[in-house]
Amino acid sequence: MFFDTHAHLDDVRFDADREELISSLPATGISHVLVPGSSLESSRNAMKIACEHSNIYFAAGVHPGEIGTMTDKTIDDLADLAEQEKCVAIGEIGLDFYWYKDLIERDTQRYWFYQQLYLARELNLPVIVHDREAHKECFDAVNKSGVRGVFHCYSSSAEMAMELVKIGFYCSFTGVVTYQGARKSILAIEKLPMERILIETDSPYLAPVPHQKDRNDPRNVRSVAEVIARVKNLSVEEVARITSENAACLFKINLLQK
Ligand SMILES: [Zn+2]
């Protein structure tokens, strides 16, 4: 059974068939899904989905592309959401100097990233980090703030992956590992100990080959596990089991609880 640690099931693209999709997951081998927040509103919607389904968990956080309207009150509201039993992390939070480099001031991004890291530290929750073209800064920020967590859709070097392992972090991989030109991700997977790897879809984005043009959904997390199995010379079942145990350990989830 697979644990998709990052799927935006609150996205409008799931409005038409969300319930149907979620109820079909166990039969297709997807035992758990973590829905990260990308704005305050999205975090609230993620909470609602998690509260209605025993196999779904959520994270509360504001994505760097959505911080434009953040205030101190938003941090208080995130803290309230984080009190919910199904909230297992603060995320997704981070720095994006690729998509948002001209849209949102770097200093504004930095400021709200740190505020959310401090919140995670205060609440003793792990963080889900979004890092686009800001590898060194994201590393320094999590290292300085003393939190644990995961770099989602890991896109940096094998060397940085090993530095992250040293400070208690995990690296999570998406369908990007099935793309041509995924060499950097493959090198990181080769180097990383299996105990620090997570799998995710980042649905509805980043559908694996050959479905790149389609809406992605948690059932495709198997494609990510297949690549990791090949690189690590393990069976897909072993990758499913180990990555699920890793997620359970990081997010403090009891996999047997229904
Ligand atoms: Zn995401």
How remote is the CA of residue 105 from the centroid of ligand 1, in Å?
20
Neighbours of ion ligand 1 (CB under 5 A): 202
How remote is the CA of residue 7 from the centroid of ligand 1, in Å?
7
60 occurs within a structural domain: yes
Residue 67, domain extent: 2-251
| Strand ranges across the sheet with 2-4 | 2-4, 30-36, 56-60, 87-96, 127-132, 149-151, 169-173, 197-199
How remote is the CA of residue 50 from the centroid of ligand 1, in Å?
16
HSE (side-chain half, CA atoms, 13 Å) at 36 = 29
- Structural contact between residues 255 and 245, judged by C-beta atoms closer than 8 angstroms: yes
10 forms bridges with which residues in the sheet?
none
Q: How far apart are CA 72 and CA 157, in angstroms?
A: 34
| Alpha-carbon torsion, ordered 196, 199, 202, 208, to 10 deg | 130
How remote is the CA of residue 95 from the centroid of ligand 1, in Å?
12
> Mind listing the pLDDT tens digit for each residue in 35-47?
999 999 999 999 9
Percentage of the chain beyond pLDDT 90 is 91
Residue 195: the pLDDT is 98
- Structural contact between residues 63 and 90, judged by C-beta atoms closer than 8 angstroms: no
197 occurs within a structural domain: yes
> Mind listing the pLDDT tens digit for each residue in 132-155?
999 999 999 999 999 999 999 999
> Mind listing the pLDDT tens digit for each residue in 210-230?
988 899 999 999 999 999 999
257 occurs within a structural domain: no
Backbone φ and ψ of 128, nearest 5°: -110, 115
169 occurs within a structural domain: yes
Confidence band, pLDDT 50/70/90 cuts, at residue 258:
low
How remote is the CA of residue 109 from the centroid of ligand 1, in Å?
16
Domain containing 232 — which CATH number?
3.20.20.140
256 occurs within a structural domain: no
Distant-in-sequence, close-in-space partners of 203: CB < 8 Å, separation ≥ 6? 4, 7, 8, 9, 11, 215, 216, 217, 218, 220
Does the pLDDT value for residue 49 go beyond 90? yes
258 occurs within a structural domain: no
55 occurs within a structural domain: yes
179 occurs within a structural domain: yes
* Domains contained in the chain, number: 1
257 forms bridges with which residues in the sheet?
none
Cα three-residue angle 93-14-60, rounded to 5 degrees: 25
> Mind listing the pLDDT tens digit for each residue in 51-92?
999 999 999 999 999 998 899 999 999 999 999 999 999 999
Does the pLDDT value for residue 231 go beyond 70? yes
Rounded to whole angstroms, what are the CA distances from 253 to 35, 42, 112, 226, 248?
Answer: 14, 22, 27, 24, 5
